[in-house]
Structure 1
Amino acid sequence: MAKFDNLLLEKKDGVAVITLNRPSKKNAMSPALHRDMVAALELLRDDKNARVVVITGAGGVFCAGMDLKEFFLELKDKPSEYEAVWKMATEWRGRTLRYYPKPVIAMVNGFCFGGAFSIVEGCDLAFAAEEATFGLSEINFKLFPGGCVSKSLANLLRPRDALYYGMSGETFDGVEAARIGFINKAFPKDKLVEQTMAVARNLASKDPNAMRATKEGYRYSLEMTWDAAMNYAMAKELELVQRQNDAFRKEGIQDFLKGKYKPGLEAHPG
């Protein structure tokens, strides 16, 4: 198992859990943490033992956003390095997670501030503790939700919610995060891991090629016209046939017709 200075990585039952591991800094994202995340995601990309990725934080905290000192102050007079780190930080949260070939789940177990919003939004699914604290605190120190955060808000939230929390700097809990659609569901903190991992294991049990096609079909169709999306769907179906040797017909449909299972109620046993 690979070792990282700022992350913990473990795999079990087809699920890889990446834990942001800077608890003394509330798991704030330093340049080194960004490098570790890029490396970890690349490592897991083709790992057949990791069908689903879960991202969470150590020490009862998800992520306090960017490390303000290491990013904004220490790189202030290093424009080339600042730009390189900025691009890396926005790329993995804004594009890598969104177009990752596997499902990615955010498990928000505590504080989630600023730049951490883009981790949550970039993931396909997100669950949080009811007691978790979310906040866009940038306005409180005379900044705005920069980098990919404003785009994340525009992608996921209604204008009234995005602007209210962005302009007021007020915090909200996991229950509110679910109400406004920022996460899927909120659970009591002592149930969060159990419930999130149950979802992750369920996804890991599905055909990985069909799972990838499901994710890509949705993500890319958002950017397409109707005609382009229909052509893409046809091409994606043919690609799936090649990737899984036509298993959706030979096994999925045929086994249903033979009465072996009910796809509306359960997954294919194979």
Structure 2
Amino acid sequence: MPETPSWETIALSREEGGIAVLTLNRPAKRNAMNPRMNEEAAAALEVLRYDAEARVVVLTGAGEAFCGGMDIKEFLVGLKDKPDEYDRIDRLTYEWRARTLRRFPKPVIAMVNGWTFGGGVSLVESCDLAIAAEDATFGVSEINFGMFPAGPVTRSLTRLARPRDGLLHAMTGRPFDGRAAERMGLVNLAVPRASLRDETFALAREIASKDPHALRATKESFWLTQEMSHDAAQDYVSAKYHELTQRQGGSWREKGAQGFLDKAYKPGLGGRSA
């Protein structure tokens, strides 16, 4: 297990069953993403990328918030006269939220425990799966100060939320709760706050029990084929099929498929653990 550095704005812990928990840790600021948090979150994901014991990552926030979006004071105002530093942090912010999480080789689950605004919404969207507290508060309120949901936020709304729902909230700035986020498709499931951790970790343990190579192939195929034509997607999945077979040394055929033939397990009734 890689040594965990000391962080100022995030916390990284490991739970039984191959689960790593990455916590945004600025509760007094509703876990708003300041420059240091973006640097530390990107660095923490590099640690987890090569941590063989971390099979699934749960992303959450400390205190009563998941993520309040970008820290306007430290980022937009604090760096307005430092164009090079602004550009560096802006690129880093986009990179880890919109690209690293989506292309991360392990499943990432957002455990949305509370206040989630602006860039926090796009952070939820970039995770593979998301479970929210029913009373969590979401919103894209940029319109209320004469702006619009910039960066990856607009794309996040259009990719997951129903178009009219996304546009309604982008144009009004109205907040919505976890139940509405589930109806809109922003999260997989909304549960009572008291059940949030248990529900999220049950899902994480279930996924962590699967073959890690198969999980990676599933995630990569799902995300990347969305942007391809039908024929390109078919070619990509075929190549991924052969890559997975090679990575596993053919074990899915010898142990997996054979298990179905031997009736060791049946489709829809469980499967072979990793």
- TM-score range with shorter-chain normalisation? over 0.9
Amino acid at match of 1:50: A
Q: 1:175 to 1:47 in 2, by over 3 A?
A: same
* TM-score, L = length of structure 1: 0.98
2:84 and 2:75 map into 1 onto residues whose CA distance is: 13
**Corresponding residue for residue 6 of structure 2:** 3
Q: Give the TM-score taking structure 2 as reference length.
A: 0.96
In the alignment, which of 208, 212, 216 is matched to residue 212 of structure 1?
Answer: 216
The question of whether the paired residues in 1 share the 8 Å contact of 2:55 and 2:106 is answered with: yes
Corresponding residue for residue 100 of structure 1: 104
Mean Cα displacement is larger for which, 2-11 or 28-37?
2-11
Identity among equivalent pairs (%): 54
Question: Does the 8 A contact of 2:209 with 2:273 survive in 1?
Answer: no
5+ residue gaps, structure 2:
none
| Aligned partner (choices 64, 74, 80) of residue 70 of structure 1 | 74
Letter in 2 for 1:3: S
User: Is residue 261–residue 269 contact of structure 1 (8 Å, CA) maintained in 2?
Assistant: no
Quick check: 1:156 aligned with 2:160? yes
Q: Does 1:256 align with 2:260?
A: yes
How has the CA–CA distance of structure 1 residues 98 and 269 changed in structure 2, closer, same or farther, with 3 Å as cutoff?
closer
Does the 8 Å CA contact 1:75/1:81 hold for their aligned counterparts? yes
RMSD across aligned positions (CA): 1.0
Aligned equivalent of 1:235, options 234, 239, 243: 239
1:46 CA drift (Å)? 2.0
Give the aligned partner of residue 191 of structure 1: 195
Q: Is the 8 Å Cα contact of residues 136 and 177 (structure 2) preserved in structure 1?
A: yes
- Comparing 140-149 with 181-190, greater Cα deviation is found at 140-149
Q: Which amino acid aligns with 1:68?
A: I
For 2:57, what is the secondary structure of its paired residue?
strand
Structure 1 counterpart SS, 2:14: strand
Deviations 1:167-201 (A, max 9, x none): 10111100000011110000000000000000001
Other structure's SS at 1:112 match: strand
- Residue 45 of structure 2 aligns with which residue? 41
> What pairs up with 1:23-34 in 2 under 5 angstroms?
23-34=27-38
Distance 2:6 2:107 in 1: 23
- Structure 1: runs of 5 or more not aligned: none
2: distance between equivalents of 1:74 and 1:269? 50
Match of 1:80 in 2: 84
Q: Is the 8 A contact 1:15 1:52 kept in 2?
A: yes
